[in-house]
């Protein structure tokens, strides 16, 4: 999900492997953002979301070239609500995947239609987490001032 553009791309796969994740990265770098100097990927801590996955999938020179364009930012464990893509996935689940779909082709077709509609409408993620919320919810991460 690209929050400043209200654009999303959703790939459907039967399983989530390191290779499958890595195979989506060249499209992101070379097609979606070919002129970007740096692409920040905000992701959960799934063990496939690493630079090592690129080396498993591609020759070292290509893996390195892709990594040179990427910055990985990981959400804290149990912090998926901090990731706008996860918020968008929740909307996808409620609006599109809320029923039994018979096969992967149907899932792909439905998700593609949902994505197209969502992108055409430029629907933003309604992310309501504020700095004040962070100070309360993430209090344990903030430095503590000692009384003297």
In tens, the pLDDT along 4-23 reads 788 888 889 888 888 999 99
**Number of domains, the chain:** 1
Residues 44, 86: contact at Cβ < 8 Å?
Answer: yes
pLDDT digits (tens, 9 = 90+) for 111-123: 999 999 999 998 8
Is residue 8 in some structural domain?
no
- Give the residue from 81, 80, 85, 115 showing the smallest Cα distance to 97: 115
Our measurement of the distance from residue 143's CA atom to the centroid of its chain's CA atoms, rounded to an integer in Å, reads: 29
Distance CA 2, CA 125 (A): 10
Please give the residue range of the domain that contains residue 56: 18-141
Residue 87: C-alpha distances to residues 3, 68, 82, 123, 146 (Å): 11, 28, 8, 13, 37
Distance CA 47, CA 125 (A): 26
Residues 119, 32: contact at Cβ < 8 Å?
Answer: no
Q: Which residues contact 137 (CB under 8 A, 6 or more apart)?
A: none
Is residue 46 in some structural domain?
yes
Is residue 12 in some structural domain?
no
pTM for this entry:
0.71
Is residue 13 in some structural domain?
no
Is residue 48 in some structural domain?
yes
Low-confidence ranges of the chain (pLDDT < 70): 78-83, 127, 147-148
């Amino acid at each position: 999900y690209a929050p400043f553009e209200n654009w999303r791309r959703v790939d459907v796969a039967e399983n989530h492997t390191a290779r499958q994740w890595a195979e989506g990265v060249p499209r992101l770098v070379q097609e979606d953002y070919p002129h970007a100097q740096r692409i920040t990927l905000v992701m959960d801590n799934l063990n496939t979301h690493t630079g090592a996955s690129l080396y498993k999938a591609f020759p070292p020179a290509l893996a390195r070239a892709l990594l040179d364009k990427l910055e990985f930012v990981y959400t804290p464990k149990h912090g998926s609500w901090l990731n706008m893509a996860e918020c968008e996935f929740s909307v996808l689940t409620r609006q599109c995947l809320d029923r039994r779909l018979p096969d992967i082709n149907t899932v792909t077709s439905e998700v593609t239609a949902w994505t197209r509609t969502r992108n055409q409408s430029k629907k933003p993620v309604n992310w309501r987490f504020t700095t004040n919320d962070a100070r309360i919810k993430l209090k344990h991460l903030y430095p503590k001032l000692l009384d003297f």
